Amino acid sequence: MRYIKYSLCSFFLFTALLNITGQIITLEELEEIAIIEQKVMMPMRDGVRLCTDIYRPETDEPVPVIFSRTPYNFNAYRDGEPNVSIYRRAYAAVSRGYAYVVQNERGRYYSEGKWDILGTPLTDGYDAFTWMAEQPWCNGKIGTQGCSSTAEWQMAVASLDHPAHAAVVPMGFGAGVGRIGDYYEQGNWYRGGALQLLFSNWLYYTQHDIYRPRPPAGMNQEDLLRIQRFYDLDPDMPEVDWSEAFWHLPIIDLFNYLGASRNIWKEMMTRKPDDDIWYEGGLYHDDMPFGTPGFWFISWYDIASSPNIALVNHIHNNIEDNEVADNQFMVISPSRHCGFWGDSENTIIGERYVGNAYLNYDSLIYAWFDFWLKDKDNGITGDLPYVQYYTMGSNKWQAADEWPPENTEMVTYYLNSGGSANSLNGDGSLSTRPPGGNDNPDTYFYDPHNPVTSYGGNFCCYGNAIEVGSFDQRAMEMRNDILVYTSDVLEEGIEVTGFIETVLYVSSDVKDTDFTIKLIDVYPDGRAFNLDETIQRARYREGYDREVFMEPGNVYKLELTPMCTSNYFERGHRIRIEVSSSNFPRFDRNLNTGGNNYDESEGIVATNSIHHSRKYPSAIILPVVKKDY
């Protein structure tokens, strides 16, 4: 029996898009309601053809289109093992009166041309819209939907404002976000100037080798339909133990070490967070227009909840077209990357139980499409709040007409200690009282060859190296290179919802190093569950367009990339932060030399300090919602 092959990451992302019932839809069931056209080679303006499968209702009336474009394998064998995820989504759309169209990006599988991780030319999306809108079976309205790589291209193409592009539903879309305000993640390659290592695993399993077999250009549909029965063009990469592979140095040599496909890994490693090339591809940046109503789906334990929310805020608050600006809506669930349909009456993220997070995503999404693509007056745009968000701790869905919600007050919690905040056994404290005049810095040694290892967190696609979600951090907090600052026991519950700011006053005896932070909810029994995390590479503290190195003896102010969450710290709980200089392999290790980092194998141990005093008031600023519980 044949199966379509995916990496663990890409399989999860691709099959999580639209699970309406969980049942397997067979080809025979789909053929009962749909006209099926596979291996349609859709022409682009430069002559390159993109492989497209079309599933549409058996009707003479034109219908709207739900369009999914993907780098993943969707080869659906007409007389063999079906692609169950494609058939399921096609059945859901067709049974509701939509055509479902799925297309491979340029250079992927049967699509012609050369693939680029930054996004194939934006004109590919525009040309696909034009082609579909001109078909007699299309009513001229197209909605785009997908999660992860099937979502990330939607923002940039929406900036072109194609007249047929009527609505977007991006889900888990962070790798399509370039620069948004203070966030320079450039498609999740960076955070705070530090490299996010997820793409090593993703590229290893996803990018095709330049020497792979390919059908000849111009091959006709009949022959393509014939050979798809026994060639899916999907490479079967050797499995990798990523818990070991991530340790390889220099990191630029990782793919040679793995014997991986020759691809763009080495070239990507050399790009800095504000390199001009980031602005030439398919990423969406905050200087671009946006022309399409959007229904956005975000997860608290995804890799990019903060910049994702910032992007929607940017469109809502800055786009001049009022109809577009006023019709942007968000749903923020507690789930993992593309894990929305995993939310249930008993949702557990990692080790933390967060209650009944179930939401009927399919009803919401199809009501959205019905309004914009079928002109149904169902009132959804009047009924939807700007944001529906799940608050962990109180374990309930809430709604707000702005983000952060109304009545949110930024409350400063200052770091303090007697100079020994090292580990859970230290004397670090977190308080709304400003520190006194004496500076008693907390000092620790950061050895890049013995980094703080990641334990849970907000990310995806790290293979077997890390497990996503919220985990009890106490074992990690026994390390002396983690500074632990904990509030007093809360006499009243506190809801923290919104962007979380961090200001650290730091010093080091090396030219460059990193500083990390985690926000944690501490239960009365001592369990300490992580909420969000971030990092700042010191050389980029003055901006991502420059590198400014540190000098021993000087104290520097760092403003870390904002975190974001919604969590209710119950009465009897405590608020905690951890500060360190590594969170590996969530982020790459700073080798502390001041060199390129990516082409180095030997690091040096840094002596790093966090200062807290009247002169150096290190603090975390929490968005506290004022309401009665």
| Location of each CATH 3.40.50.1820 domain in the chain | 8-400
Q: In a 3-state reduction of DSSP, which class is residue 313?
A: helix
DSSP string, 148-175: GGGTTTHHHHHTT--TTEEEEEEES-GG
CA dist., res. 66 & res. 141, Å (int)? 9
CB within 8 A of 31, min separation 6: which ones? none
| Location of each CATH 2.60.120.260 domain in the chain | 408-625
**Running DSSP on this structure, what letter comes out for residue 304?**
T
Residue range 248-269, pLDDT digits in tens:
999 999 999 999 877 788 889 9
| Sign of the CA dihedral with 122 first, then 124, 125, and 127 last | positive
Residue 145, CA distances (Å) to 119, 293, 625 in order? 16, 12, 33
Residue range 220-249, pLDDT digits in tens:
999 999 998 888 888 888 999 999 999 999
How many degrees, rounded to 5, is the angle at CA 157 between CA 153 and CA 163?
Answer: 140
Contact 557, 550 (CB under 8 A): no
CA dist., res. 477 & res. 425, Å (int)? 8
Residue range 69-121, pLDDT digits in tens:
999 998 875 544 556 688 899 999 999 999 999 999 999 999 999 988 876 67
- Confidence tier at 9 by pLDDT (50, 70, 90): very low
Strand partners, 521: 529, 575
Question: pTM for this structure?
Answer: 0.94
Return the H-helix or E-strand segment holding 307.
helix 305-318
Return the pLDDT at 21: 43
Residue range 121-152, pLDDT digits in tens:
789 999 999 999 999 999 999 999 999 999 99
Residue 495, CA distances (Å) to 108, 331, 392, 397, 522 in order? 46, 18, 9, 13, 14
Q: What is the dihedral of CA 337, 342, 347, 352, to 10 degrees?
A: -30
Return the pLDDT at 629: 55
Q: Provide CATH code, domain 8-400.
A: 3.40.50.1820
CA dist., res. 463 & res. 198, Å (int)? 9
If you average pLDDT over residues 359-384, what whole number do you get?
97
Average pLDDT, the chain: 92
Q: CATH classification of 408-625, choosing from 1.10.1200.10, 3.20.20.70, 2.40.30.10, 2.60.120.260?
A: 2.60.120.260
Residue range 585-622, pLDDT digits in tens:
999 999 999 999 999 999 999 999 999 999 999 999 99
